[in-house]
Amino acid sequence: MTSHMSKTYRLAAVLGAATLALVGCGDANSGGGGGGKASAAQIVIDSTFDIKTIDPGREYEPTGQIVVKALYDTLLTFADNDTTKVIGDLATFEANEAQTEFTLTMAEGRVFSDGSPVTVDDAVFSLQRLQGLEGNPSFLLDGVTITKIDETSLKLTTAEASPYLPSVLATPSCGIVNSKLVIENGGTTDSTDKAEDFLNANSAGSGPYVLQELDVASQVVLVKNAKYNGPQKATYEKVILRNTEPPTQKMNVERGDSQVALGLSGDMIESLASGVEVASVPSATVVFLLINANPEISALTAKPEFVKAVKAAVNYDGLVEIAGRGSAQATGLVPSVFLGALPASEALKHDPAAAAEALAAAGGMTGKVTLSFPNDIDPTGLNMTTLAERLQSQLAAAGIEVELAPAPFATEIDAYREGQEQIGLWYWNPDYMDPANYLAFGPGQSVGQRSGWLKGANPAIEDLVSQGYTTGDPATRQAVFENWGKAMLAEGPFVPLLQPGSNVVYQPSVSGVYYNPVWLINVAALGLS
């Protein structure tokens, strides 16, 4: 889970569960297309909807991220499907040596969909509005001071080194809006803002597409922005995002009514008809066990020896097997797509003898411990109940008796947040594409506290956390995060289990399909092969 649980719930419920489809003809509302030859006329995106708004200052749901990415350019972005490299979009940037000042220079000539120029004032207003709305994504710019320098540049300032800030600016929620248009329709930079209804019905961005229709229960329709003059080269005249359940998505892509499907379950992938392609990669989601270090919650789980026993008792290959295609063992808390992720050689290993020795050192079992988990969410198609049952069996084989306590997310989330679980089975999705997001697992940090691992519990790891937040040099940062990751595997009360797979099913006629942990799919990058 991320430190902002409301966002994470929504993201985990749908991450990788969008389906894209390209149709050559037919009525999008009827799900038609007839399997005709693909053309640039339109592309249909079938998704299990999780969308509440497409106001960039307020949206933080997966479906919303797809849409806002298409409508609103950001100051910075990522290079194609490489989320380790931040590049310029509406601006370029320079950071001071201390990584506390970020100067952004606006690109020349960029325009909004109404033809008006994108200015520094628009950038300042958009980022200050994101902060002032106090919505789900507002935390992204906590502690950041945003000021206009002159007519071509602005500065972002932080009290402490913030090398992750450029990655934050690449998230769709930091999309730049046409400030004049938004202000005319109730926009402000504080909680009195009334522009959401306008932005849910109109476009106020400079992205490759503009909004034609929004129905948060059924479909979103986008059309190509005739005034767009950025670097992306959108192929399709129309993008239709439809709310479609996975079984229907599978049927559509098999019969050629759609050309791309994201997030089908492992079982669905294995039973696909021939004639479609499958691209499978580990997602940026990390599924983990939390073992409570607070002796008031459990005297047994609070023992470091018990934690070691659990780490050695888990058969990680067996978990990957049930997680399905594209999945991989989590080598640490930082996923493989990030700087500082650990190599496979450092991952935890299944070692029954070591598990028995550690359990004996903990004094053995004096009764069952409880493993709690949300049972109504399937992050990236992974069934949490099936995973919990497999873990229960694996731990029992090592003499660790676990009682499962499934509960709806809305019920279990409070126990998780309040640090009341003996053992918790959860997942974490990135808020932004930087490994600093995972330092929340450190002692005294937000997730550390949920495991009863408080400040002062491990000064050496706490020092690495501080270095991770403030170190700017990429090579040094990588070393810091690798050292932090190794220390967390050895001494932390967390057991990284899996990176579930992100499976993209598509017809050979589609090109440019790739999974992005932030906006899931860049519809402007999709083309004809």
10-residue averages of pLDDT along the chain (529 residues)? 37 34 33 50 79 92 90 93 88 94 98 98 98 90 97 96 93 97 98 97 97 93 96 91 84 84 76 86 91 97 98 97 89 92 97 98 94 85 91 98 94 93 93 90 96 97 94 90 98 96 83 85 89
Written as one letter, the residue type at 183 is: I
pLDDT of residue 410: 82
Write the Ramachandran bin of 34: left for phi over 0, alpha for psi from -120 to 50, otherwise beta.
left
DSSP 475-507: HHHHHHHHHHHHHHHHH-SEEEEEE-EEEEEE-
Count of Cβ atoms closer than 10 Å to residue 382 Cβ: 25
pLDDT of residue 40: 87
Q: How far apart are CA 195 and CA 198, in angstroms?
A: 5
pLDDT of residue 259: 79
pLDDT of residue 203: 94
Q: Which domains does the chain have, with CATH numbers?
A: 1-70+207-280+502-529 (3.40.190.10), 73-197 (3.90.76.10), 286-499 (3.10.105.10)
pLDDT of residue 31: 36
Collect all residues with Cβ–Cβ distance below 8 Å to 371 and sequence separation of at least 6. 289, 388, 391, 392, 402, 403, 404, 405, 422, 423, 424, 425
Collect all residues with Cβ–Cβ distance below 8 Å to 477 and sequence separation of at least 6. 163, 339, 340, 435, 468, 471
CA distances 294 to 415, 448, 449, Å, are: 14, 11, 9
Q: How far apart are CA 480 and CA 471, in angstroms?
A: 8
The tokens of 187 are what?
Answer: 């926009």
- SS3 for 371? strand
Q: How far apart are CA 251 and CA 196, in angstroms?
A: 36
pLDDT of residue 106: 98
Collect all residues with Cβ–Cβ distance below 8 Å to 279 and sequence separation of at least 6. 503, 504, 506, 513, 514, 515
